[in-house]
Structure 1
Amino acid sequence: MVVEKHLNKVILASDVYAICFQHALTTEKQEIMGLLIGEIDEEQCISRISGCMILHRSDKQPDRVEISPEQLCGASMYAEKLANTLNRPMRVVGWYHSHPHITVWPSHVDIGTQTTYQMMDPLFVGLIFSVYQSDSRARSNQVQLTCFQASTHEGSKLERREVPLFIETSPFQSYNLDGIANLPKILIQEEVESHSISDNETSDPIARLHNDAFKTLALVHIVSKVSRPMCDDLVQRLNATKLRIKELERIKAQLLMGRN
């Protein structure tokens, strides 16, 4: 049974939003997943998400994701390490995953998963990024984001409860920068492992050659569609930051001249 205590608001740091969004866009064939790190205001029931942990998928599925107890434990250890670094309480406060080519609304499986998490922590939250939804009228791909918890309706039926979500502008924190920099490495590891399983299941050299070719294509896709754009984006962010620093230095110099 879902505990009645629920979130009133979620504040998501913009750099975490960027990481989750970038992760969701890495594939339009399977769902991706990760865990959210942050702080909880227990009195006001407000969740502030300031970090995340991208998870490695051992089994890539087009319509569902599974987070293992080992991954939850690893995320908890990461949160403790982050708490020591930032000198403030941090914990696993939620999860996120993608819905490629389908609606942003959580499925009954998603709501069931969310219910399980809320049994452990009633303020646990779920984020879903819907990507690669085509809009024929606008001739574009739509991206949607929902923030939800599970709740009971009429005493027994489980349903989605929308949670107000606010994205807070913030600079890229170093620990989140490390996370997004590791994204290509995680994707490459997933591809290598999935093709290794295929190779172990066949002794046909032609089949192995076929698998190697597709593995190479997948790795090239990661470099061209993920690593390269991420590098270009980070370079643009760096250049924008340098320009901002110069502008602030100019303003500072003017203020000092005015004081004198």
Structure 2
Amino acid sequence: MFRQLNKVVLSADVYAVCIQHALSTEKEEIMGLLIGEVDDSNISYISAGLILHRSEKKSDRVEISAEQLCMASTHAEQLAEKLGRPMRVLGWYHSHPHITVWPSHVDLRTQAMYQIMDPLFVGLIFSVFLSENNVGNQVQLTCFQATDNYERRDVNIVIEKVPLRDYNLKNICELPKILIQEEVEIHNTKCSKNDDILVNIHNEAFKTLSLSHLITKISQPICEDLEARLEVTNLRIKELEKMLIELKRKSDEDKI
């Protein structure tokens, strides 16, 4: 019998990782894997994400290699050991920059292939930089599986409010490093050393420009966001400390 997911519960911090990753570029699709656990009711609880390194950038297609799946499985095992509960790769996510959120026929065939390995495997698509009805840069999310005849089956998804946990925070912090590695590797592959010194200077200048753009548009905003989160957290800690002092004072008065 064909097993189907009944629902997906996506942790808010994983959602933040996916959104941060999807908004990192509006020219190519990005991709990553989703990690968590599934209960006996076929409800998937996604509590960690893994940003994948792209060997090639494309505007309309992404692929996950067998090596990346093995790496993600190892990462899931490490998380399981750390958290003391079973964790495995439950699904994948990718972006649709400037186009609708609905999966393409390629997405559905890719999803169907993953479901051969795991019938409860799920796909998430984040549509970003989409303008509709005079509203710019909308973000849309769909959660789906593929049927036997490669049609879309929508899966109910709920975003669960949780704090930003350390392993997902680390994932966000790794994003600029991964993007820089991708840029350098692609530059080194496509722009091999040339006998013409002016060509080499031109290519190196474009690489430097691309890396500067990543720092300005990705690294700096992430740092500013994390600093703002830290400031809010510190303020909350001070408020809780004041509440604790007040509760102790009232407790001491009641004893008297």
TM-score by length of 2: 0.95
Shift of 1:205: 3.5
Q: Tell whether 2:89 aligns with 1:97.
A: no
Shift of 1:151: 1.2
Shift of 1:211: 2.0
Q: Tell whether 2:150 aligns with 1:158.
A: yes
1:83, 1:203 → 2: CA distance?
A: 52
Partner secondary structure for residue 102 of structure 2: coil
Shift of 1:201: 7.7
Spell out, residue by residue over 1:196-248, the C-alpha distance to the aligned partner (whole angstroms, 9 max, x if none): 01222855443333322221111011101100000000011111111111111
Instruction: Report percent identity of matched pairs.
Output: 61
Partner secondary structure for residue 53 of structure 1: strand
Q: Counterpart in 1 of 2:206?
A: 214
Q: Counterpart in 2 of 1:8?
A: 6
Q: Tell whether 2:74 aligns with 1:77.
A: yes
Equivalent of 1:182 in 174, 195, 198: 174
CA contact (8 A) 1:198 1:211 kept: no
Spell out, residue by residue over 1:161-200, the C-alpha distance to the aligned partner (whole angstroms, 9 max, x if none): 1111111111111111111111111000000000101222
Q: Residue type of the partner of 1:31? A: E
Unaligned runs of 5+ in 2: none
Equivalent of 1:88 in 85, 88, 91: 85
Q: Residue type of the partner of 1:15? A: D
TM-score by length of 1: 0.93
2:106, 2:197 → 1: CA distance?
A: 40
Shift of 1:254: 1.8
Structure 1 stretch 242-251 or stretch 52-61: which is displaced more?
242-251
Q: Counterpart in 2 of 1:198?
A: 190
State the number of aligned residues. 252
**Which structure 2 residues correspond to residues 91-130 of structure 1 after superposition, within 5 A?**
91-130=88-127
Q: Counterpart in 2 of 1:169?
A: 161
Equivalent of 1:246 in 225, 228, 238: 238
Partner secondary structure for residue 33 of structure 2: strand
1:211, 1:93 → 2: CA distance?
A: 41
Q: Residue type of the partner of 1:145? A: L
CA contact (8 A) 2:193 2:200 kept: no
1:34, 1:207 → 2: CA distance?
A: 35
**Which structure 2 residues correspond to residues 217-228 of structure 1 after superposition, within 5 A?**
217-228=209-220
**RMSD over aligned Cα atoms:** 1.3
Shift of 1:24: 0.5
1:228, 1:141 → 2: CA distance?
A: 20
Unaligned runs of 5+ in 1: none
CA contact (8 A) 1:45 1:123 kept: yes
Q: Tell whether 2:145 aligns with 1:149.
A: yes
